[in-house]
Amino acid sequence: MLIDTDVHERVMYEELLPYLEQPWKRYIEDCHWIQEKHMPYTQPAVAGVDRADARIPDGRPAGTDLSFMQQQLLDANNHEKAVLTGALDPSPSSMHGWYEMATALATAYNNWQIDKWLDQDERLYGSIHIAAQEPWNAVKEIERIGSHPKMVQVLLPIDDKLWGDPYYHPIFEAAQRHNLAIGMHHNEPPVYYGQWPKYFIEWHTLIPTSHMNVVTNMIFNGVFDKFPDLKLIMIEGGFTYVPFLMNKMDQQYTDLRHEVPWVKRMPSDIVRENMLFTTQPLESMKKKELMQIIDQLGSDEIISFSTDYPHWDYDSPDAALPPNLDDDLKEKLYTENARNFYPKF
Partner 1 sequence: MEQKVCHKEDLQPGEMMESTLGKHSIVVCRASDGHYYAFLNRCIHQGAPLSKGKLCGAPAPTDNVGEYNFEKDGDILRCPWHGREFDVKNEGRMLVNEKYKVKNFSVSVENNDVIVYN
| Cβ proximity to partner 1, 44 vs 170, nearer residue | 170
**Least distance in Å: CB of 264 to partner 1?**
6
- Any contact of residue 56 with partner 1 (CB under 8 A)? no
Nearer to partner 1, 12 or 256 (CB): 256
Rounded to whole angstroms, the Cα distance separating 323 from 321 reads 6
Minimum gap (Å) between residue 11 Cβ and partner 1: 36
Shorter beta-carbon distance to partner 1: residue 48 or 222? 222
Min. distance of Cβ 268 from partner 1 in angstroms? 12
The one segment of 125-133, 175-183, 259-267, 306-314 that binds partner 1 by CB under 8 A: 259-267
User: The dihedral of CA 184, 228, 134, 127: what is its sign?
Assistant: positive
Q: Examine residue 226 and tell whether it contacts partner 1 (CB under 8 A).
A: yes
CB 168 within 8 A of CB 226: no
Does 256 sit near partner 1 (CB under 8 A)? yes
Residue whose CB is less far from partner 1, 255 or 327? 255
Smallest distance from partner 1 to CB 245, Å = 18
* Contact window for partner 1 (CB under 8 A) among 15-23, 89-97, 222-230, 236-244: 222-230
With binding defined as CB under 8 A, does residue 247 bind partner 1?
no
Query: Among 62, 183, 187, 61, which Cα is nearest to 129's?
Result: 183
SS (HEC) of the chain? CEEEEEECCCCCHHHHHHHCCCCHHHHHHCCCCCCCCCCCCCCCECEECECHHHCCCCCCCCCCCHHHHHHHHHHCCCEEEEEECCCCCCCHHHCCCCHHHHHHHHHHHHHHHHHHHHCCCCCEEEEEECCCCCHHHHHHHHHHHCCCCCEEEEEEEECCCCCCCHHHHHHHHHHHHCCCEEEEEECCCCCHHHCCCCCHHHHHHCHHHHHHHHHHHHHHCCHHHHCCCCCEEEECCCCCCHHHHHHHHHHHHHHHHHHCCCCCCCHHHHHHHHEEEECCCCCCCCHHHHHHHHHHHCCCCCEECCCCECECCCCCCCCCCCCCCCHHHHHHHHHHHHHHHCCCC
Cross-strand pairs, 153: 127, 181
- The 84-123 site mask, x for binding partner 1 (CB under 8 A), equals ----------------------------------------
Establish if 140 lies at the interface with partner 1 (CB under 8 A). Answer: no
Residues 260-279 that bind partner 1 (CB under 8 A): 261-262, 264, 266
Compute how many other C-beta atoms are within 10 angstroms of the C-beta atom of residue 212.
19
State yes or no: residue 162 binds partner 1 (CB under 8 A). Answer: no
Task: Choose the stretch contacting partner 1; rule: CB under 8 A; options: 143-151, 217-225, 230-238, 300-308.
Answer: 217-225
H helix count then E strand count, the chain: 14, 8
Shortest Å, Cβ 251 to partner 1: 9
Count of residues binding partner 1 (CB under 8 A)? Answer: 17
The distance of closest approach from Cβ of residue 243 to partner 1 in the complex, given in angstroms and rounded to an integer, is 20
Q: Whose Cβ is closer to partner 1: residue 155's or residue 219's?
A: 219
Q: Name which of 199 and 262 has its Cβ closer to partner 1.
A: 262
Q: Which of residues 17-36 bind partner 1 (CB under 8 A)?
A: none
Q: Is residue 257 involved in binding partner 1 (CB under 8 A)?
A: yes
Stretch that binds partner 1, among 93-101, 133-141, 155-163, 258-266 (CB under 8 A): 258-266
* Residues making contact with partner 1 (CB under 8 A): 166, 169, 221-222, 225-226, 253-259, 261-262, 264, 266
